[in-house]
Amino acid sequence: MLLLFAVFAIFIGFTFWRQRKQQKAQQEQQAQLGPGVEVMTSFGLFGTVQSVDEADNKIVLELSPGNTATVHRQAVTKILTPASVEAEESPVVPDDASSLTGPYPTESTPAAAKETLKDTTNQAANETAEETLARLNKENEKDK
């Protein structure tokens, strides 16, 4: 009988310990909330915090440029990017389709590779459709 009470007391102790740990984690997360932080809500909505109203426990999220939603502070379940971390450099996206036509040499490309790439690009630009098909079939046979 005494053993049963001990197991029950240990179970209740672990429950309180886990609950306290979750509350502490949630308080730390709530402290990180501020303008510019990317978050996810409990209902799967992703957005960037625009403003936080401490008095009413409301957060204004920008879902996309020009679209906002006001949610309760406790609806935020996950912080994707903390405010203190600077946004990583986003990749440069060209405003035309030049990147789709083939690889272009960069500053880190060795000089020999740049010349080979230049020759291949010029050759491909000057050949007919039949020549291209024949060249690709020949390259395909080499790979086998």
96-125, pLDDT tens digit by residue?
A: 665 565 555 555 555 555 555 555 555 556
Please answer whether residues 79 and 36 qualify as being in contact, where contact means their C-beta atoms are separated by less than 8 angstroms: no
For residue 18, give the CATH number of its domain: 2.30.30
Q: Is residue 61 part of a domain?
A: yes
Q: Is residue 133 part of a domain?
A: no
pTM of the model: 0.44
- Mean of the per-residue pLDDT values of the chain: 77
Residues 66-98 pLDDT 10s: 899 999 988 888 888 765 544 455 666 666 665
Q: Is residue 109 part of a domain?
A: no
Q: Is residue 34 part of a domain?
A: yes
**Which segment of 2-11, 43-52, 110-119 scores lowest on mean pLDDT?**
110-119
Q: What is the pLDDT of residue 82?
A: 65
The two structure tokens encoding residue 4: 């049963």
Is the pLDDT at 3 greater than 80, yes or no?
A: yes
Q: Is residue 67 part of a domain?
A: yes
The two structure tokens encoding residue 131: 């020549």
Domain that holds residue 71: 7-81
Domains held by the chain: number: 1
Q: Is residue 125 part of a domain?
A: no
Q: Which helix (H) or strand (E) holds 52?
A: strand 46-53
d(CA 138, CA 122): 19
Is the pLDDT at 15 greater than 60, yes or no?
A: yes
Q: Is residue 40 part of a domain?
A: yes
35 phi and psi, to 5 degrees? -55, 135
